[in-house]
Chain A
Amino acid sequence: MSNVAPIDLPIDEDTRQDLRRGERKIERTVAGRTKKRLTSRGATLAALVIAVLWTLPTFGLFISSFRPRELIQTTGWWTAFSNWGWTLDNYAEALQAGNSQLNMAGAFVNSIAITLPATIIPISIALLAAYAFAWMDFRGKNMLFIMVFALQIVPIQMALIPLLQLFSNGTLFGFPVIEGIGQAGYAQVWIAHTIFAMPLTIFLLHNFVSEIPGEVIEAARVDGAGHGQIFFRIILPLTMPAIASVAIFQFLWVWNDLLVALIFADGNVGPITKLLAEMTGSRGQDWHLLTAGAFIAIIVPLVVFLALQRYFVRGLLAGSTKG
């Protein structure tokens, strides 16, 4: 789907226990415990090399985005001190750059308008289904759940063309069943993201929802609560942290997505990733635009990620908390 995926595969009991123990230890060390030095000098060196290698490319982009155009084109960013000169013009120019229908500022707004609904809607729908899979008994439940789970690895490429035909002409198997919704605003992207998020989101939320102690739900039922109240008053508040971690993933996926945007967001509703990819093709050597543009595109996920890191790590290990 995208660049970040939590453990979405079932794992065996022992592995799961190991991971949970490790997770608890991670949280404990934050509280401050004795820590030793790096294991050996060689290990220190290797760790440092990896850390530097992994950081330098982003760092170079960041530095370059503040350098004047002529300097970017003629000197390396590592000479920024000997070739002194800083500017914000790149950002001003990048925000106005784009194609005839859309500039980068507009694409940024589009990204927000696509991402927020495409995060909230699929998670709500998936939570409803996850509740049913976790706390209601019906025949064929396991079969159905495994089917939904297995669907997550059907590549979305398999669904793109027919879904596009359904949206634009309302046809299924070439037979018109509904009126097509056409190219009206963000509707296509919202619906497409909602559909493609379904299998994995249901699976992850199911893991969390089924962890709520049965006694709590039983007690509510004895007190006369129906499924609607249990869902709204117990499941929703108790799983909020879990929902947050799944929501972060969905947010990052949608914000960072390119494929769905290329197919379903045409013209003036394209998100920033699409516009950037397009600019890389058409203005591939205009580094003052590309560096600033790329930084505009990655700043939102970076902030979300750094601010909510705890939830993010928990979300990564989500699949391991319960099969």
Chain B
Amino acid sequence: MSAFFQWLSNLTPLLQIPIIIGVFVAVVGLILFLVEIAPRRGRVYTIIRLAVCVAAPALILLVLESWIEAVIAAAVLGLLFFFLDMRSKEGAGSLFVLVAFLAPALLLVLVGLIIPAIQTTGQAFMNRNTTEFVGLDNFAWIFTQPQGLRVVLNTIVWVVIAPVVSTVAGLAYAYFIDKTRGEKYYKILVFLPMAISFVGASIIWRFVYTARPAGQEQIGLANQVIVWLGGEPVNFLAVQPWNTLFLIVVLIWVQTGFAMVILSAAIKGVPTEQIEAAELDGTNGWQRFINVIVPGIRGSLIVVLTTISIASLKVFDIVRTMTAGANNTSVIANEMYTQLRSFEGGRSAAFAVVLFVLVLPLVIYNAVQLKKQREIR
């Protein structure tokens, strides 16, 4: 495997794309072919199944250059699986098909997400090289030292402000432009920042925030506006504690488009009869909005708020590109990376765990919702 990738990396990048995709498509094609013929009756198909069951897991480990013991163990497990499949209730081959469809995704998730998450949790209680158990020291370090507290506090500020402001702005905009001429183009204008990477957005806003000393001509729009209004230019990214707010503006700028699109669809989904009935009752625009539209789109509002909350919790690129955490603007995700780069494995893992714990309530809420829904259906 490593030899293959080594060979591949020596080709020009544009040649690598078709090769890797070609290899991948061939593998998927093979899986689909095997899946198609697996459940068929007859000696030939049984032998093919047996061969694949034993060879496939062994071959995968062999390609990954694992231990020879592991390869043999995988082959034996494959053999066991073959007999299990033979005796399965839905007929021979049914388990085979199921595993062929699910195994690639589930294995990736297991090896790449579940096991690493468990490992990270473990590392959070170890010292910097993961050689010694240190208990809660890393967490104590985060929560006792002013810098660490500031990081957690900043993250909370992000989560409190960004979702609310972008949702309100998105909702207002969606309502204002609802059913107007040129609605589509109005939408694109606010929607466009979503296609721009956080790095690109950060550069755009750094340019807006640039400051030149008072007296000189300003090149940043924000400071020019201040000067026009008769104020002194401000170095936006250095004034504490407001600089965090100026970073949050970037996220709001990006996420308002998301809120606007979802809420616009939701507003259009509110039954016209209800709005007309309210009109007949002599309500004004504002009353209709508060008493008919907002309750009508409550579900979508909650979804938008939660989605943006999760995005704000994990915000990394903006802080990294704008300030790299300088001047007390750091957030958990950024600090996690900074600690990783300074070889503080334990502290880095501890920050990751804190992030996870903050996201957890949302996970539980979602899982419960999904379960409820599946039971109804």
Q: Tell me if B21 and A117 are in contact (CB < 8 A).
A: yes
> Complex formed: what's the CA distance from A13 to B336 in Å?
39
Interface string of A108-124 (1 = CB under 8 A from B): 01101100110011001
- Contacting pair B355 A161 (CB below 8 A): no
Taking a contact as CB atoms under 8 Å apart, the answer to whether A36 and B179 are in contact is yes
Spot the interface stretch: B29-37, B132-140, B146-154, B239-247: B29-37
Q: Does A84 contact B (CB under 8 A)?
A: no
B113 touches A19 (CB 8 A): no
- Find out whether the CB atom of B113 lies under 8 angstroms from the CB atom of A151: yes
Partner of A136, one of B33, B101, B220, B333: B101
Known A112-B13, A150-B367, A186-B9; contact A35-B265, beta-carbon cutoff 8 A: no
Give complex CA distance A206, B223 in Å. 49
Q: Do A26 and B265 touch (CB < 8 A)? A: yes
CB of B268 closer than 8 Å to a CB of A: yes
Interface readout for A32-63 with B: 1 if CB under 8 Å, 0 if not? 00011111100110110011001111101100
CB distance from A54 to the nearest CB of B (A): 5
Q: Which A residues touch B261, using CB under 8 A?
A: 313, 316-317
A242 an interface residue at 8 Å Cβ cutoff?
no
Q: B300 to A51, Cβ gap below 8 A?
A: no
B92 contacts chain A at the CB level, 8 A cutoff: no
B321 at interface, CB cutoff 8 A: yes
Give the contacting residue for B35; candidates A11, A226, A305; CB below 8 A: A226
- Measured CA separation A160–B65 after assembly (Å): 22
Whether B203 pairs with A323 at a CB distance below 8 angstroms is: no
Residues of B in contact with A, size category: 35 or more
Residues in B whose Cβ lies below 8 Å from that of A2: 197-198
Roughly how many angstroms separate A12 CA and B189 CA in the complex, as a whole number? 30
Q: Which chain B residue lies CB-closest to A5?
A: B307
**Bound Cα distance from A305 to B5, whole angstroms:** 32
Question: Cβ of B324 < 8 Å from any Cβ of A?
Answer: yes
The answer to whether residues A185 and B5 also contact, given A58-B196, A174-B130 and a CB cut-off of 8 A, is yes
Known: A36-B179, A60-B207, A120-B21. A158 touches B321 (CB 8 A): no
Contacts of A228 in B (CB 8 A): 32-37
A90 to chain B, nearest CB (A): 13
Q: Which residue of B lies closest to A124 (CB)?
A: B28
> A258 at interface (Cβ–Cβ under 8 A)?
yes
Please tell me if the beta carbons of B64 and A161 are within 8 angstroms of each other in the complex: no
CA distance A144 to B38 in the complex (A): 24
Report A178 CB to chain B, min CB distance, Å.
4
CB-based contact A158/B116 at 8 Å? yes
Residues of B within 8 A of A160 (CB): 116, 340, 352
Check A76–B224 contact: CB distance below 8 A. yes
The prevalent SS among residues of A at the interface is helix
Interface residues of A in 153-184 (CB under 8 A from B): 153-155, 157-163, 166, 170, 172-174, 177-182, 184
Chain B residues near A240: list those with CB within 8 A.
Answer: none
Whether B219 and A74, one on each chain, are in contact in the complex, defined by CB atoms closer than 8 angstroms, is yes
Partner of B199, one of A78, A232, A277: A277
Q: Pick from A150, A184, A313: contact of B363, CB below 8 A.
A: A150
Query: Is residue A18 within 8 Å, beta carbon to beta carbon, of the partner chain?
Result: yes
Find B254's partner among A1, A3, A287 (CB 8 Å cutoff). A3
CA distance A10 to B370 in the complex (A): 6
Taken together as a complex, chains A and B put the C-alpha atoms of A297 and B296 apart, in Å, by 40
**Please, which residues of chain B bring their CB within 8 A of the CB of A256?**
196-200
Indicate if the CB atoms of A76 and B39 lie closer than 8 Å. no
Give 4 new A-B contacts, CB below 8 A, not counting A54-B190, A158-B116: A17-B269, A129-B102, A159-B117, A290-B203
With A5-B258, A10-B366 known as contacts, the answer to whether A56 contacts B221 (CB < 8 A) is yes
**From A139, which residue of chain B is reached at the shortest CB distance?**
B89
Contacts of A125 in B (CB 8 A): 28, 104-105, 108
The stretch of B47-55, B75-83, B312-320 in contact with A is: B312-320
CB contacts under 8 Å to A, within B103-121, are 104-106, 108-109, 111-117, 119-121
Bound state CA distance, A304 and B113, in angstroms? Answer: 30
